[in-house]
Structure 1
Amino acid sequence: MNDPASTPDETAIPDTDPVGRATPASERLRRWRLVLGEPAQDACLFVLAGDDLRIDQALTALYDAQDAGGLRGGSGASSPRVARWLGDIRQYFPASVVQVMQKDAFERLDMRRLLLEPEMLAAAQPDVHLVATLISLGRVIPAKTRDTARRVVQKVVDALIDKLEEPLRSAVSGALNRATRNYRPRHAEIDWQRTIRANLRHWQADYHCLIPQTLIGYGRKSRRTQREVILCIDQSGSMAASVVYASIFGAVMASLPAVKTHLVVFDTAVVDLTEQLDDPVDILFGVQLGGGTDINRAVSYCQSLVRDPRNTILVLISDLYEGGVENNLLQRANELVQSGVQMITLLALSDAGAPTYDHRLATRLAALGVPSFACTPDKFPGLMAAAIRREDISLWAARQDIVTVRPGS
């Protein structure tokens, strides 16, 4: 009896049914062949052709590069090949997969130097990771590529603003209106739950009704500053995506008359970018990713910005790997909390999953009343709304299934 593994028969499992549709069995083999690569050719008994072959070549060039002599970063001779590869993955894979493959290519194959060529940059799929790579290269991007780089960053910024602006604007504006009490409300402005609770003593049992002697309503929109928000962002390389999202959110909040927004970035030095909040692209190209971290110095500067502690929200976005004086940082954090400032630490503001951070410092901050947790961009509007309403942020996070750092954990 012949061993089918030693004498593969491509007709053993037909690729199509009598009307030309792929059979379930052949589709499974096709997928396994694409997942496992060329070494699985004989075992899968499936020969790739057409688009499947181009897909396989694109995957091999990235994930089997050492064996296949695939993509190479930093080589002039390889540039046309990389350009074709970037075009292929955009043609054959959805945008979410393209973003992952580009990120893997930058990390695995050291393709960063190729991004200094305008042709390569124009062929790439714009996404947050690409923007993070570009801003990390900001100081070395040559003049011939700078305009292309700015267009790529502008495209990503515009897409993020389209996606994130309205949820943040609605959440913050709504929270501001509800955080302000109005004791002469119009009918549409009445906060019925608070009005009923305030007038329970006026319940008329004989008439089965409540007579509200005091009406409580939501505050009317005001152009005066009702809250001050300070975004303090760690510029270390691991926080790149967080820098991108925080800059977008800062620009949106700065456009709200009732919110005074400050944007501060830091490594071992502190830079106030508040004056550039009208142009997020300028902010991103003003950021210098990498270097050391002095959180204490940054929090000290932010502390100097506080004018009305009870109406100030300080959001520290950092993985908390402190290179400065930790005890001084904790003392400043305690002073801010005791003065009435609502201080929150976001260990990451991105979709990248669970971040790496200094657990010990996070637990010490939590003991002072500074909640620490990671936050995805879609949750950030709700977070700001909860902070404006002066809710317990740890309870808000729990309702969102967000795990916060606990004191002593």
Structure 2
Amino acid sequence: MHSLPLSARRRTTRALAPIIALGLVAAACGSDEAADEPADEPAETTAEEPAEEPAEEPADEPADEPADEPAEEPSGVGFASLDEIAALCPADIAPDKLVFTTFPGQQEAMDPVTEIFTELTGVDIEWLENGLGDRLTKLAAEKGSPTIDVALVPIAETPALLANEIVEPTNTDLPNYEQLIGPAKYDGGYGVSALQFGIAYNPEFITEVPDSWLDLLDPAYSGAIALPSMPNSGGYALLSMLSIIGGGDESDLTAAIDQIAAYKDDAHSFIGSSPTVEEQINSGEIQMYLDIGGVAVRAKNERNVPVEFVVPAEGAPLSINSLVIPTGSDHLGCAEAFVAFMLGEESQIAWAEAFLYGSTSSVLELDPELASSLYPAPGATDIVDVDWSVIAANTADTLDYWNREVTS
């Protein structure tokens, strides 16, 4: 398929060692997509340091002492205790329930772990599963008097929610906040899981493995490729990668939109998410599309959808699932306790096991077999650094241009 332009490789992160806090396995640091420069921190302590110390110190200096200072935990902290979390929601202020709104399909997988929170605090979790558009509309309509206590949104939505005072600023003193990786720390929310984008394809029809984002615009597959609709994190990811391949970046997506506009008549459709078109994927009507790694692999493993997933040679952006707390909550302390719990060990393992999402913890230890199946996997070097705050700041102009050039 397409050869890889050298300019496309320039933004691939520098082994992204701390993003690699994503799902950290024992001695490996394990972080959808996205914030500060975490990649430089681990350099402070390298694997070679222990070998050098004995040479400088006499034999009476124990050679194995450096093992007590692991480089993979730059913050020097671990998970908060459940007692610490429960202290935020004492019985005298605890409501009967908290309302948590998120994407469809998450309650079934995550309910067992949230029952631990209920046992801990006596507070039930009422799940409100809906589409992102409905969720954002409800958050905005209830500004200042929310019926929602905690919401899950893509990281790209967080800056606007904060700027419009729809959500609370981040509480950096929250238990379990300090152990988050850099990309999961930003104002207005808390990164709870990481997702990696790529290309899903049906190998019965696509016999040559896609190796570039440009393959999603290949006229050889006219009528068989589904592209992401907008606004959509996957759509922004594709536009960002097309821009980077062309020598630009995520700050100006107009040229990438022009590429989509030129191909739109060849696209099968523009879709919000792959589960909504699984019938067409199963039939071979849709043969290639952008997807989230964990979503595509679970579709294959759990529902026998005939797809394989690949991260293109140029690499791929991450997106972060962000937990936000609406402003004006009557249950702020308990909402913060729930967020702290969701950032903790039990919940981080559940996100990975249920959805194959990368962890946002810098200290989590996962079973190696599970860790290797995550997108992004611990130690991933195919992550492209995209600044979602820049994308968010330009959302209005981007969508206006998209609607004029692609939708119309």
What TM-score range do you get, normalising by the shorter chain?
A: under 0.3
More helix by share: 1
What is the TM-score normalised by the length of structure 2?
0.25
Greater relative contact order: 1 or 2 (C-alpha under 8 angstroms, separation 6 or more)? 2
TM-score, normalised to structure 1, is: 0.25
